[in-house]
């Protein structure tokens, strides 16, 4: 098999800041790691972690306003760790700067015997769930965390699922059985005790009612539960409970080959379709050093924008439905159906085509693909104007959603809010503009923003984004480049047809890439995109094998749900429903 050449090293972001930190940290800096995504990666000991994070958050230039992600890597079986400090479990902090438009990664080495490090909740509120998830998955303790309990797995779960010793398939475990004793334990764990949720039973003036909204409720958009502490209809406190849709997608990412994990990504944000493939394949391509031909890039953009339309249409309809408007959802489904028909004629599947490949897309566009897109472009704008009249300009809807669930840019950073929820606070920040990927720099489109940061604004932004998506699709159609739909790179999986079956060399290449799958050179990469619901990123670690050593999927909805109590306490139940609707999440995207 041909051995892939190493990826061209990407220029490291922010050399000045890095040089200053090197000087400041001195021997507290354990190591500096080169990753192929150009994100500066520093290793520090846990005792210095909080100081460094505080410096980066408050007094560095640029400031890193957002804790984008916290996760861990079980390093015990990993090979190819040249230049990295000894570590059995590494906790990874990913910071993001919006003022400086750059990232920063900090790694903390830990030993299995002593898995603990300080919690950073006092720096970022969003750390709460991320640290809980890391504890849930790896058993790493965060000292000072107020509520370090399981978050996505059930409270009775044994073990920590993302540790390497934990099996990835049910068939590798004991057959499941539930005897009476175990049933009693499970039932006991399900009992609702308000004190465990940080709620009081009564105040001086009233006795509270606890309402269990979900996990099966018409307006929680999937299997999602919020425990509500109500005083009449006023929400005194609310605690979101997630995990009902957890499928262990990250574990699957470590089990499947690089190629065969692609269809799983479609189901992460199940309304985003192939847009989920994009950050994953781009991360793999970055590690493999594959340059994707322009035609493939443009096809990817076109399909991703179609899925953005589909997802936003569904959001728009359900948003109106959740404030009690019956009809819009049906109109939106008509539109969505049209787009799915186009997607089906291109990809062969509707909601989850799994159509992007490492190095390009699965097939070239079919003959006559422009005709149906042209129909859509003629049809949609007028309908969107109709919907404005029906939904956005409706007086009752405005009164239901304006001034409800308000937060500002600072709060959005604190909670890790990205996407339309961030732009509704007045910050013009779109990944497609700020850090163009897959050729977005060639497109002419605007980034809509709003200033109030309430439910209404979040909806209005998405509506305008649909118009911009239509512009992008039109430009794709008008300027579709010629050339190949897949790269010539040997790690492209599977290779293009004419690159197979020529001689013994191409035959073996083809055979290996289909049977084993490609071997991606040892490296690490984070690639983020502006997905339908916010910034979605894949952090992949390869140790030179046919599958990923660690697949971290950072989804926007996870962070957004964590914010619900902060913006809805004090409002009424009906407002909470409007807030939930305006966030635009799907539970598969939260739980993974």
Partner 1 sequence: MFVLEVGSVLTIGLILAVVIVVAAMLIWVERRLLSFWQERLGPNRVGWFGLLQVVADMIKIFTKEDWIPPFADRFSFVIAPAIIMSVVLLSFAVIPFAPNIGVVDSNVGVLFILAMASLGAYSVMLGGLSSDNKYALLGSLRAAAQMVSYEVFMGISLLGVVALSGSFNLRVIVEAQADGWYVIPQFAGFVIFLIAGIAESHRLPFDIPEAEQEICSGYHTEYSGMKFGMFFVAEYIGLVLVSSLITVLFFGGWLGPSFLPPIIWFAIKSSMFIAFFILLRAAIPRPRYDQLMNYGWLFLLPVSLLNLLVTGAIILSTQ
Q: Which parts of this chain interact with partner 1 (CB under 8 A)? A: 209, 211-212, 217-219, 233, 320-327, 330-331, 334, 390, 394, 396-397, 399-400, 572-575, 577
What is the rounded CA–CA span in Å between residue 146 and residue 62?
Answer: 30
Q: How far is the CB of 565 from partner 1 (least distance, A)?
A: 18
Q: How far is the CB of 328 from partner 1 (least distance, A)?
A: 9
Q: How far is the CB of 305 from partner 1 (least distance, A)?
A: 24
How many Cα atoms are found within 13 Å in the side-chain-facing hemisphere of 509?
A: 22
Q: Which is nearer to partner 1, 110 or 580 (CB)?
A: 580
Q: Which is nearer to partner 1, 123 or 236 (CB)?
A: 236
Helix (H, G, I), strand (E, B) or coil at 386: helix
Residue with the two structure tokens 């394949």? 281
The helix (run of H) or strand (run of E) holding residue 435 is none
Q: Which is nearer to partner 1, 348 or 570 (CB)?
A: 570
What is the rounded CA–CA span in Å between residue 127 and residue 105?
Answer: 15
Residue 264, C-beta contacts closer than 8 angstroms, at least 6 positions apart: 249, 252, 253, 256
Q: How far is the CB of 397 from partner 1 (least distance, A)?
A: 5
Q: Which is nearer to partner 1, 175 or 395 (CB)?
A: 395
What is the rounded CA–CA span in Å between residue 407 and residue 221?
Answer: 22
What is the rounded CA–CA span in Å between residue 195 and residue 460?
Answer: 39
Q: How far is the CB of 529 from partner 1 (least distance, A)?
A: 31
Q: Which is nearer to partner 1, 168 or 574 (CB)?
A: 574
Tokens of 338: 């049209």
Q: How far is the CB of 396 from partner 1 (least distance, A)?
A: 5
Q: How far is the CB of 405 from partner 1 (least distance, A)?
A: 13
Residues in the chain: 592
Q: Which is nearer to partner 1, 361 or 577 (CB)?
A: 577
Q: Which is nearer to partner 1, 113 or 326 (CB)?
A: 326
Q: Which is nearer to partner 1, 43 or 244 (CB)?
A: 244
Q: How far is the CB of 395 from partner 1 (least distance, A)?
A: 9
Q: How far is the CB of 231 from partner 1 (least distance, A)?
A: 12
**Among the listed residues 414, 429, 415, 427, the one whose alpha carbon sits nearest the alpha carbon of residue 453:** 427
Runs of H (alpha helix) within 275-324: 277-288, 294-322
Residue with the two structure tokens 């635009």? 584
Q: Which is nearer to partner 1, 371 or 402 (CB)?
A: 402
Q: How far is the CB of 217 from partner 1 (least distance, A)?
A: 7
What is the rounded CA–CA span in Å between residue 396 and residue 164?
Answer: 53
CB 354 within 8 A of CB 263: yes
Burial call 519-532: b when 16+ CB within 10 Å, e when fewer: bbbbbbbbbbbbbb
Q: Which is nearer to partner 1, 302 or 329 (CB)?
A: 329
Q: How far is the CB of 339 from partner 1 (least distance, A)?
A: 15
Q: Which is nearer to partner 1, 317 or 534 (CB)?
A: 317
What is the rounded CA–CA span in Å between residue 78 and residue 96?
Answer: 27
CB 360 within 8 A of CB 296: yes
Sheet holding 550-554, edge to edge: 523-530, 535-542, 550-554
32, β-bridge pairs: 42
What is the rounded CA–CA span in Å between residue 314 and residue 303?
Answer: 17
Strand 41-44 to 102-110 pairing: parallel
Q: Which is nearer to partner 1, 147 or 394 (CB)?
A: 394
Distance of CA 271 to the CA centre of its chain: 13
Q: How far is the CB of 423 from partner 1 (least distance, A)?
A: 24
What is the rounded CA–CA span in Å between residue 455 and residue 583?
Answer: 8
For residues 466, 419, 557, 567, the Cα torsion angle rounded to the nearest 10 degrees is -110
Quote the crossing angle between the two packed helices 15-25 and 46-58, to the nearest 10°: 140
């Amino acid at each position: 098999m041909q051995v892939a050449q190493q990826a061209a090293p990407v220029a490291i972001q922010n050399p000045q800041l890095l040089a200053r930190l090197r000087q400041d940290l001195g021997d507290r800096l354990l190591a500096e790691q080169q990753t192929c995504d150009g994100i500066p990666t520093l290793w520090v000991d846990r005792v210095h972690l909080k100081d460094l994070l505080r410096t980066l958050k408050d007094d560095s230039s640029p400031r890193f306003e957002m804790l984008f992600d916290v996760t861990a890597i079980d390093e015990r079986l990993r090979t190819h760790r040249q230049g990295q400090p000894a570590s059995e479990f590494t906790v990874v902090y990913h910071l993001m700067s919006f003022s400086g438009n750059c990232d920063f990664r900090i790694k903390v080495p830990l030993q299995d015997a002593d898995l603990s490090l300080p919690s950073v909740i006092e720096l970022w509120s969003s750390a709460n769930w991320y640290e809980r998830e890391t504890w849930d998955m790896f058993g790493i303790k965060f000292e000072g965390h107020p509520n370090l309990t399981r978050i996505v797995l059930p409270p009775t779960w044994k073990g920590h699922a993302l540790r390497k010793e934990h099996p990835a398939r049910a068939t590798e475990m004991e057959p499941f059985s539930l005897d009476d004793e175990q049933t009693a334990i499970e039932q006991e764990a399900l009992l609702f005790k308000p004190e465990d949720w940080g709620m009081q039973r009564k105040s001086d003036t009233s006795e509270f009612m606890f309402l269990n909204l979900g996990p099966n409720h018409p307006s929680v958009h999937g299997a999602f539960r919020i425990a509500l502490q109500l005083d009449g209809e006023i929400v005194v406190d609310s605690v979101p409970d997630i995990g009902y849709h957890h499928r262990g997608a990250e574990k699957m990412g470590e089990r499947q080959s690089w190629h065969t994990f692609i269809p799983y990504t479609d189901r992460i944000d199940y309304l985003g379709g192939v847009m989920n493939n994009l950050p994953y394949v781009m991360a793999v391509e970055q590690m493999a050093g594959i340059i994707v031909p322009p035609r493939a890039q443009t096809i990817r953009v076109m399909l991703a924008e179609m899925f953005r339309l589909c997802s936003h249409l569904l959001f728009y309809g359900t948003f109106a439905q959740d404030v009690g408007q019956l009809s819009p959802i049906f109109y939106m489904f008509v539109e969505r159906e049209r787009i799915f028909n186009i997607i089906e004629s291109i990809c062969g599947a509707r909601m989850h085509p799994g159509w992007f490949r490492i190095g390009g897309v699965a097939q070239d566009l079919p003959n006559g693909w422009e005709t149906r897109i042209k129909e859509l472009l003629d049809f949609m704008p007028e309908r969107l104007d109709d919907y404005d009249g029906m939904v956005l300009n409706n007086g009752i809807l405005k009164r239901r959603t304006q001034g409800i669930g308000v937060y500002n840019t600072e709060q959005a950073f604190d909670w890790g809010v990205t996407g339309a929820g961030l732009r509704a606070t007045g910050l013009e920040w779109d990944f497609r503009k700020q850090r163009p990927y897959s050729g977005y720099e060639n497109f002419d489109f605007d980034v809509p923003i709003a200033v109030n940061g309430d439910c209404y604004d979040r909806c209005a932004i998405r509506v305008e984004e649909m118009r911009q998506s239509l512009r992008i699709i039109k430009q794709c159609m008008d300027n579709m480049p010629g050339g190949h739909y897949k790269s010539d790179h040997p790690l492209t999986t599977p290779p293009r047809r004419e690159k197979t079956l020529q001689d013994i060399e191409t035959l073996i290449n083809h055979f290996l890439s289909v049977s084993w799958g490609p071997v991606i050179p040892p490296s690490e990469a984070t690639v983020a995109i502006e997905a339908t619901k916010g910034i979605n990123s894949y952090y992949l670690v390869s140790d030179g094998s046919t599958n990923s050593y660690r697949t971290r999927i950072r989804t926007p909805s996870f962070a957004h749900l964590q914010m619900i109590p902060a913006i809805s306490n004090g409002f009424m139940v009906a407002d909470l429903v409007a807030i939930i609707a305006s966030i635009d999440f799907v539970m598969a995207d939260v739980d993974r």
